[in-house]
């Protein structure tokens, strides 16, 4: 290389390039790391795919992905909580990692055998906590009496209470529970077990059908097992106002949503009518829904008698749920409280009524769900379904409710919502089972249910070497009351090599903790003695229990004798003078002799041959 070429090369390279003389005539340029990164066309993309380490850049701190995984884990153990806080290697602060959590239970069998001996000697390391700061959903299943409603109540306590016995740093959420009981009548019925949270300080109100307000008020005012001075749930009628109606609400109530099922002709006509109303409101800049305009347009439609019959049933359901135009100040205050949702409060929508079937209940549940989720910006929401198998059936209304629930679960991170579904049958919805972050399986005996579990849960379908001696179904059948298998791929309950490990395709056996609220889910046995909720009752003064023979003669005069265990919640006892008891083939029960036309008692011969005057 000549002198001119050397000068030209030195002039073009700049100060950062240096010339190395070798035996060969070419020049080798050595780049600094910065210049090498600038010249490589792919290095600039690495910052977007390879995360940076800790604040000091030394590489000793934990990556942000691991910190984020711990921060968003639905469940974690006390061992993980203790070890991670002691490590102090995370990009998040301690308060950000575990800001709000509540105790759920105790692990019976850890997922990894290597940590079993350590946890056996330290039971305090086996505590399972729920991360109440992050949105996630739970699916609970199991046979009756296995403890699923108890687990549901424990989760609600963690969400709604700020009690230092079970929660740390808790900020109470706003909750709503859907409950429906088919076997209800004017004299009996099954209340929602979540109502017992009132004994722990949760403000509970119950929205019921207007046709059963008296019966439900009596039942919820006399919950057995509550302390004497405990506040009772407030029972209010489920009614809607004009300002709460919308085209979407009307489509839900009239069951005209497109659920994939071939709809009748009149349903298509109503759907077109609601579409026209929505277009007119949009063109006029109107908000809300004019119910009278809807009824007027509906009257102009030419429908047959066969089409008007189901339509009238829907309109009657809507009319019974609408607030009256002329109302007292007390009714106005009750309506205002109906749709007021405050942090730390629980609203139970109990539609157990003999005039409300499963389809009507699902339609009203969908409307309540929409109205409840409208205020998610002010305070995070938690929605729970109690005994979901009773109303999540194959009807179009149930399918629409299921679609609404699925939509909320899919957007739970954006809505800040939590979902808890408790059901006996895991077959109610495979899609809900797929989408829920946590699945808690209590005891059941159905191979068909187990087949559903294996189809939708990776951990249940995995072939673990440690489980070859006994399959998962045999373990589920042997579970005790309150025990369950917990499936959560993102839960962090074990440590390995100093790092928290997620469950992934494994599961753990867990025992649910005791409730701090009163337990209302005890089984009724033949020796069970019912106790009144309090001596000061507003609905049944001087309450007495009735024996079995008296149940067949409640309309007679006299006070029934109190001898046997009570069945259900009887009406108020009679206050008249008791009549003589006649001994016969059917035992001793109150008996009123028949009257003659003149009003005098007719003599009656008993089975022992004596004459009763």
Residues in the chain: 613
Specify the DSSP class assigned to residue 578. Answer: P
For the ranges 222-236, 349-363, 569-583, the lowest mean pLDDT is seen at 569-583
Pick the residue with more confidence: 378 or 105? 105
Classify 568 in phi/psi space as left (phi over 0), alpha (psi -120 to 50) or beta.
Answer: left
Q: In CATH, what number does 101-239+323-512 get?
A: 3.40.50.300
What pLDDT sits at residue 63? 58
DSSP one-letter string for 90-139: -SS-HHHHTSSEEEEEEEEE-SSGGGHHHHHH-GGGGEEEEETTS--EEE
Distance CA 556, CA 130 (A): 55
Distance CA 517, CA 194 (A): 10
Residue 261 has pLDDT above 90, yes or no: no
Q: pLDDT tens for residues 317-347?
A: 788 888 776 677 777 788 888 899 999 999 9
Residue 445 has pLDDT above 70, yes or no: yes
Q: Find tokens 């969908």 and name the residue.
A: 366
Counting other chains too, the contacts that 240-246 makes at CB distance below 8 Å and 24 or more residues apart are 240/321, 240/322, 240/323, 240/367, 241/322, 241/323, 241/335, 242/288, 242/289, 242/291, 243/288, 244/339, 244/371, 245/288, 245/289, 245/291, 246/288, 246/289
What pLDDT sits at residue 550? 33
Q: pLDDT tens for residues 451-471?
A: 999 999 988 877 555 554 468
SS3 459: helix
Cα angle 277, 278, 284 (rounded to 5 degrees) comes to 90
Q: Find tokens 């000091």 and name the residue.
A: 56
| Closest to 135 (Cα-Cα) out of 375, 457, 376 | 376
SS3 417: strand
User: Are the C-beta atoms of 417 and 383 separated by less than 8 Å?
Assistant: yes
What pLDDT sits at residue 125? 87
Return the H-helix or E-strand segment holding 155. helix 148-160
User: Are the C-beta atoms of 130 and 158 separated by less than 8 Å?
Assistant: yes
pTM of structure? 0.75
Joined tokens for residue 323 = 């607030």
Instruction: Give the torsion sign (CA, 312, 207, 337, 409).
Output: negative
Pick the residue with more confidence: 311 or 370? 370
Average pLDDT of the residues in 255-260: 63
Joined tokens for residue 241 = 């106002």
Specify the DSSP class assigned to residue 216. Answer: H
Q: Hey, which residues does 382 pair with through a beta bridge? A: 175, 418
* Cβ-Cβ contacts under 8 Å for 360 (sequence gap 6 or more): 317, 351, 397
Average pLDDT of the residues in 553-580: 42
Q: Band of the pLDDT at 610, cuts 50, 70, 90? A: low
For the ranges 23-32, 51-60, 198-207, the lowest mean pLDDT is seen at 51-60
What pLDDT sits at residue 67? 81
What pLDDT sits at residue 384? 98
Return the H-helix or E-strand segment holding 587. strand 587-590
For 249-279, give the secondary structure using H, E and C.
HHHHHCCCCCCCCCCCHHHHHHHHHHHHHHH
Query: What's the chain's Rg over C-alpha atoms?
Result: 33
User: Are the C-beta atoms of 537 and 221 separated by less than 8 Å?
Assistant: yes
| Calculated CA dihedral for residues 165, 168, 174, 176, nearest 10 degrees | -50
Q: Where are the alpha helices (DSSP H) in 343-466?
A: 358-373, 396-410, 412-415, 430-435, 447-456, 458-461
């Amino acid at each position: 290389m000549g002198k001119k070429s050397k000068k030209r090369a030195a002039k073009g390279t700049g100060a950062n390039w240096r010339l190395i003389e070798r035996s060969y005539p070419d020049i080798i340029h050595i780049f600094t790391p910065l210049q090498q990164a600038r010249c490589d066309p792919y290095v600039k993309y690495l910052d977007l795919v390879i995360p940076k380490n800790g604040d000091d850049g030394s590489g000793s701190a934990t990556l942000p992905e691991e910190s984020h995984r711990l921060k968003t884990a639905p469940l974690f153990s006390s061992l993980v909580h203790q070890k991670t806080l002691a490590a102090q290697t995370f990009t998040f602060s301690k308060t950000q990692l575990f800001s709000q959590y509540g105790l759920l239970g105790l692990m019976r069998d850890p997922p990894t055998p290597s940590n079993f001996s350590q946890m056996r000697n330290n039971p305090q390391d086996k505590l399972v906590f729920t991360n109440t700061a992050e949105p996630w959903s739970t699916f609970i299943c199991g046979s009756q009496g296995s403890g699923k409603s108890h687990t549901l109540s424990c989760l609600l306590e963690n969400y709604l209470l700020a009690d230092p016995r079970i929660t740390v740093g808790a900020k109470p959420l706003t909750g709503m529970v859907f409950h429906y009981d088919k076997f209800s009548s004017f004299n009996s019925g099954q209340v929602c077990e979540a109502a017992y949270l009132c004994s722990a300080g949760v403000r509970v109100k119950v929205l019921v059908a207007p046709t059963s307000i008296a019966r439900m008020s009596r039942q919820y005012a006399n919950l057995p097992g509550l302390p004497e001075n405990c506040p009772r749930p407030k029972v209010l009628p489920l009614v809607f106002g004009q300002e709460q109606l919308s085209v979407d609400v009307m489509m839900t109530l009239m069951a005209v949503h497109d659920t994939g099922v071939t709809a009748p002709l009149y349903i298509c006509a109503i759907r077109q009518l609601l579409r026209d109303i929505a277009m007119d409101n949009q063109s006029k800049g109107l908000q809300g829904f004019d119910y009278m305009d809807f009824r007027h347009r509906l009257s102009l439609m030419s429908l047959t008698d066969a089409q008007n019959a189901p339509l009238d049933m829907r309109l009657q359901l809507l009319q019974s749920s609408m607030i009256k135009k002329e109302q007292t100040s007390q009714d106005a205050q009750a309506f205002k409280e109906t749709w007021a949702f405050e942090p730390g409060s629980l609203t139970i929508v109990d539609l157990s009524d003999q005039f409300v079937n499963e389809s009507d209940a699902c339609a009203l549940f969908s409307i309540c769900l929409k109205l409840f989720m409208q205020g998610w910006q002010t305070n995070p929401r938690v929605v729970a379904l109690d005994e979901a198998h009773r109303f999540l059936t194959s009807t179009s209304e149930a399918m629409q409710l299921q679609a609404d629930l699925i939509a909320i679960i899919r957007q739970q991170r954006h809505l800040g919502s939590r979902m808890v579904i408790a059901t006996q049958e895991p077959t109610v919805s495979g899609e809900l089972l797929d989408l829920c972050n946590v699945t808690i399986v209590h005891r059941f005996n159905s191979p068909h249910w187990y087949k559903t579990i294996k189809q939708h849960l990776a951990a249940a379908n995995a072939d673990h070497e440690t489980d070859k001696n006994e399959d998962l179904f045999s373990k589920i059948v042997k579970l005790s009351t309150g025990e369950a298998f917990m499936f959560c791929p993102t839960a962090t309950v074990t440590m390995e090599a100093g790092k928290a490990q997620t469950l992934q395709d494994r599961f753990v056996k867990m025992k649910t903790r005791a409730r701090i609220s009163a337990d209302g889910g005890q089984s009724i046995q033949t020796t069970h003695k019912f106790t009144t909720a309090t001596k000061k009752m507003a609905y049944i003064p001087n309450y007495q229990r009735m024996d079995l023979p008296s149940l067949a003669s409640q309309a007679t005069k006299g006070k029934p004798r109190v001898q046997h265990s009570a069945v259900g919640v009887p009406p108020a006892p009679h206050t008249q003078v008791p009549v003589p008891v006649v001994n016969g083939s059917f035992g001793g029960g109150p008996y009123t002799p028949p009257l003659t036309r003149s009003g005098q008692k007719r003599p009656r011969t008993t089975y022992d041959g004596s004459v009763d005057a």
